[in-house]
Chains A and B, each alone.
Chain A
């Protein structure tokens, strides 16, 4: 279990409870259960307090928690017959972007998402979920395929942003992102999207240009990272707490602004504490969102998506 800095007091209590129980196992006749249960209760209350009022910066930390389920976890648990499709037919296959055909229930769909990796080896392999132009061009190819064969599209968004690298720029990072957003707006099949962790700027928006966009309760979606914003506007990257607050990047803020359609509740203490329950909740949201769109014609789906974005920005947050 990885604890975040603000979870330190919680780590102490849970650690004590674990120690007690371990001790009881080795020493005969020692009854610790009552004491351990009291610690459990205390930890439970603390979890409720901590997660009941997460600041924007703490939400960023939870959204980036290494133990959260990632794209691969959802694909493996929610879909059957997942058949990964690789490559942009032009330069390379980008491992920061997963995608392929799969069944959600009985329904064949196209699933596309950013994958961050879960340990050092896979994180490097996945480039920490930061896609290069090839990733966006692979997505364009899969969106096109989905469009031609009438497969609803499911996207899972989890990226710190598009990769800022020399090669990525030379091969047209901007153009690749722009074209993938364009393609997302053109296709005549339902597109549903869930921000499962970090929705990082332009790297995320192409995947989240959908008919329905949901966010996990403690996920974030922002024009710039709080650290980046702090270093530009406050001239001090350490002011990320202030920047996170000002950017209004939480799921709750985005729902109020009309940018996302629904919030998927996370288990107490965040997705990392009960991965299975989180994955199940996301699965239900996907079924429900696709269900809402299933009867719409191709033209209606395109119109619906365009209108959704054209109408955005008509309301602000309450003072």
Chain B
């Protein structure tokens, strides 16, 4: 257990990252219209405090909340050939890429990290919908392969958060080829006997759903996430009829047998810990066996937050998992 990486670094990180954010920022919940204070929203993992609507969350924000103390080491992704087709629509593809890099501060649409969740060593990959719609091009393919290779090398489970409008058109056929490429990555994990858990988040569509997102050992989705191959508009145009309420949403897919679970974001971490520990043959997670150090005003170690949630479960939470308290004895 590394005290420094797990507690001190994230505290420093969180101080710095907080500074980058404008203090007086409000955003409106797209579902219920409630005005949410930025800080309040971030503290609630970007879930509306009024209606439980799950807003988008960047991989870095997710990792900060997911990994023990927010600490992880970034897994390096091999750089692909830039703009292999010399693609140009109304804009040049490299210009679109640069614009996305500028607004997100990220290199590309997927982040891979290795670290621990509930003292369970894992590799996690998360797709960034805010980066060109999370689209799957060669970089995302390389990231998934790198994540699988790292997981195999470290003998750890891979947890993947999907979020994408589909394949990246600007890379043409090479983006389509990420479907078989990422499937090879999944096979590496299966052959090594390592769990591959997919968390499908809003939205997961097209070639992404039709490859690595549907090949998990366990499929978990966030509430109300759109998950499909063909989007609802395309289908409506094809069959010329209105689609039923909730069509292609997470709960609908759960009913149709495509998912194992639909889980509220605030319960996700505990659930992932429980599942990965069982699949890896580890004893139940024990929380709080290491007292957290003195906290700064902004430090909020996840294990403690999770323990609080376990004490006060939200009765309104849809499809809440078994209470983590059951299989995770508290001190």
Interface residues, chain A, with chain B CB atoms under 8 Å away:
162-166, 168-175, 177-179, 181-182, 184-186, 201-202, 205, 209, 221-224, 229, 232-234, 242-243, 246-249, 253-254, 257, 259, 306, 309-310, 312-317, 319
Of chain A, the residue at the smallest CB distance from B207 is A202
Please state if B84 and A317 are interface contacts (CB–CB under 8 Å).
yes
Please state if B213 and A185 are interface contacts (CB–CB under 8 Å).
no
Interface positions, chain B 255-272, Cβ under 8 Å from A, are 256-258
Number of residues on chain B facing chain A (CB within 8 A) = 53
Please state if B215 and A182 are interface contacts (CB–CB under 8 Å).
yes
Please state if B89 and A234 are interface contacts (CB–CB under 8 Å).
yes
| Distance of B246 from chain A, by nearest CB (Å) | 12
Interface positions, chain B 42-74, Cβ under 8 Å from A, are none
Kindly state whether residue B234 has any CB partner on chain A within 8 Å.
yes
* A278–B173 alpha-carbon span in the complex (Å): 25
Q: Can you pick out 20 interface pairs between chain A and chain B where the beta carbons lie within 8 Å of each other? A: A164-B234, A166-B241, A169-B230, A172-B258, A174-B209, A175-B214, A175-B258, A184-B180, A185-B187, A205-B180, A222-B173, A223-B171, A234-B89, A246-B85, A246-B89, A257-B173, A259-B177, A309-B180, A312-B174, A313-B84
Listed from nearest, the 5 A-B pairs whose CB atoms lie closest are A316-B84, A164-B230, A174-B209, A233-B89, A177-B210
Please state if A233 and B187 are interface contacts (CB–CB under 8 Å).
no
Of chain B, the residue at the smallest CB distance from A233 is B89
* A172–B252 alpha-carbon span in the complex (Å): 12
Please state if B229 and A313 are interface contacts (CB–CB under 8 Å).
no
Please state if B167 and A224 are interface contacts (CB–CB under 8 Å).
yes
* A170–B243 alpha-carbon span in the complex (Å): 12
Please state if A177 and B229 are interface contacts (CB–CB under 8 Å).
yes
* A248–B280 alpha-carbon span in the complex (Å): 45
Of chain A, the residue at the smallest CB distance from B137 is A313
Residues of B within 8 A of A172 (CB): 214, 256-258
Interface residues, chain B, with chain A CB atoms under 8 Å away:
80-81, 83-90, 138, 141, 145, 167, 169, 171-177, 179-181, 183-184, 186-187, 206-207, 209-215, 227-230, 234-235, 238-239, 241, 243, 247-248, 256-258
* A174–B200 alpha-carbon span in the complex (Å): 13
* A173–B257 alpha-carbon span in the complex (Å): 12
* A290–B59 alpha-carbon span in the complex (Å): 45
| Distance of B119 from chain A, by nearest CB (Å) | 32
Apart from A169-B230, A170-B256, A179-B215, 4 more pairs, CB < 8 Å:
A166-B241, A181-B211, A182-B186, A313-B80
Please state if B181 and A316 are interface contacts (CB–CB under 8 Å).
no
Of chain A, the residue at the smallest CB distance from B243 is A166
- Contacts A202-B207, A254-B173, A319-B86 hold; do A174 and B183 have CB atoms under 8 A apart? no
Q: Within the complex, which residue of B90, B145, B174 is in contact with A310, where a contact is CB–CB below 8 Å? A: B145
Q: Within the complex, which residue of A163, A202, A257, A316 is in contact with B179, where a contact is CB–CB below 8 Å? A: A202
Chain A binding surface, main DSSP class: helix
Please state if B214 and A249 are interface contacts (CB–CB under 8 Å).
no
| Distance of B258 from chain A, by nearest CB (Å) | 5
* A182–B217 alpha-carbon span in the complex (Å): 14
Please state if A178 and B243 are interface contacts (CB–CB under 8 Å).
no
Please state if B174 and A313 are interface contacts (CB–CB under 8 Å).
yes
| Distance of B206 from chain A, by nearest CB (Å) | 7
Please state if B175 and A223 are interface contacts (CB–CB under 8 Å).
yes
Residues of B within 8 A of A248 (CB): 85, 87, 172-173
Residues of A within 8 A of B230 (CB): 162, 164-165, 168-169, 173
* A19–B19 alpha-carbon span in the complex (Å): 82
Q: Which of A163, A202, A224, A248 has the most CB of B within 10 A?
A: A202
Please state if A233 and B90 are interface contacts (CB–CB under 8 Å).
yes
Residues of A within 8 A of B257 (CB): 172
Q: Within the complex, which residue of B183, B214, B229 is in contact with A164, where a contact is CB–CB below 8 Å? A: B229
Residues of A within 8 A of B238 (CB): 163-165
| Distance of A110 from chain B, by nearest CB (Å) | 19
* A236–B229 alpha-carbon span in the complex (Å): 22
| Distance of B200 from chain A, by nearest CB (Å) | 10
Of chain A, the residue at the smallest CB distance from B230 is A164
Q: Within the complex, which residue of A232, A309, A313, A319 is in contact with B81, where a contact is CB–CB below 8 Å? A: A313
Of chain B, the residue at the smallest CB distance from A239 is B89
Please state if A317 and B85 are interface contacts (CB–CB under 8 Å).
yes
Please state if B83 and A202 are interface contacts (CB–CB under 8 Å).
no
Please state if A186 and B214 are interface contacts (CB–CB under 8 Å).
no
Please state if A306 and B87 are interface contacts (CB–CB under 8 Å).
no
Please state if B234 and A234 are interface contacts (CB–CB under 8 Å).
no
* A162–B210 alpha-carbon span in the complex (Å): 11
Residues of B within 8 A of A232 (CB): 169
- Contacts A165-B239, A222-B173, A257-B173 hold; do A209 and B256 have CB atoms under 8 A apart? no
Please state if A223 and B88 are interface contacts (CB–CB under 8 Å).
no
* A312–B214 alpha-carbon span in the complex (Å): 22
